[in-house]
A and B are shown apart, each in its own frame.
Chain A
């Protein structure tokens, strides 16, 4: 039972480089989301999806892109990395109804130099 799998666990990028953070879930959850965690700021929503082909912006979407071609996968793309995107990124999934438990991946620690 894999749950939510994120890859890679660690990544160092140079300013201006692009990369994709992968997220996959095997629970057939409709709702998937990406958060970034920064000290003293909690988790802030970047983008979310309520099903295949449907995505929307969260609180801090600038500099990030997402797509949802399948129920299982929800990759997050950094188009041109900046030092301000140094953070820990978490992917989460849940059923599409209020009050259900969200399941989180182990996180990706990204450093942009």
Chain B
């Protein structure tokens, strides 16, 4: 069975500062990894995904994530955040089927 752990429930950060949101996964089989973002009162939308190949994945809005197999991690980073990045971020995984397993989410709060 797959599981996804997001270590931080909330991350406060000042505007223009860098941010890292942490995600660890466990799976005994091949895994595909995703980061989704949820803006207030909206559904989820895909930020980026890792399927195979290059371990550094670039997504929308300047976000990127690095797949690290030895540490079973898929941390999300942005070098300089904006107020509009305030949202909840979910790490998720699938195995060989389409069923997504989500982490508990990290609320990113960007302030001036």
User: Which residues of chain A are near B42, meaning CB under 8 Å?
Assistant: 106-107
B44 at the interface (CB under 8 A from A): yes
Assess the B95–A98 pair: CB atoms within 8 A. yes
Number of chain B residues close to chain A: CB under 8 A: 26
Contact of A90 among B34, B41, B44, B96 (CB under 8 A): B44
Assess the A99–B94 pair: CB atoms within 8 A. yes
Give the nearest-CB partner of A105 in chain B.
B43
Contact of B90 among A33, A42, A48, A106 (CB under 8 A): A42
Assess the B49–A107 pair: CB atoms within 8 A. no
How many pairs, one residue from A and one from B, have CB atoms within 8 Å of each other in the complex?
62
User: Which residues of chain B are near A50, meaning CB under 8 Å?
Assistant: 98
User: Which residues of chain A are near B63, meaning CB under 8 Å?
Assistant: none
Min distance, Cβ A8 to any Cβ of chain B, angstroms: 14
Contact of B43 among A95, A99, A104 (CB under 8 A): A104
A36 to B36, CA, bound (A): 16
Assess the A43–B97 pair: CB atoms within 8 A. no
How would residues 76 to 112 of chain B score, 1 for a CB under 8 Å from any chain A CB and 0 otherwise?
0000000000000010001111111111110000000
A2 at the interface (CB under 8 A from B): no
User: Which residues of chain B are near A48, meaning CB under 8 Å?
Assistant: 99
B46 at the interface (CB under 8 A from A): yes
Assess the A42–B100 pair: CB atoms within 8 A. no
User: Which residues of chain A are near B32, meaning CB under 8 Å?
Assistant: 98-99
A48 to B98, CA, bound (A): 10
How would residues 91 to 113 of chain A score, 1 for a CB under 8 Å from any chain B CB and 0 otherwise?
01011111111101111000000
Contact of A98 among B36, B46, B97, B102 (CB under 8 A): B97
A12 at the interface (CB under 8 A from B): no
B56 at the interface (CB under 8 A from A): no
**With A96-B98, A98-B95, A101-B49 given, is the CB distance from A43 to B43 under 8 Å?**
no
How would residues 41 to 64 of chain B score, 1 for a CB under 8 Å from any chain A CB and 0 otherwise?
111111001010000000000000
Binding site for B on A (CB under 8 A): 4, 31, 33, 35, 40-45, 48, 50, 58, 90, 92, 94-102, 104-107
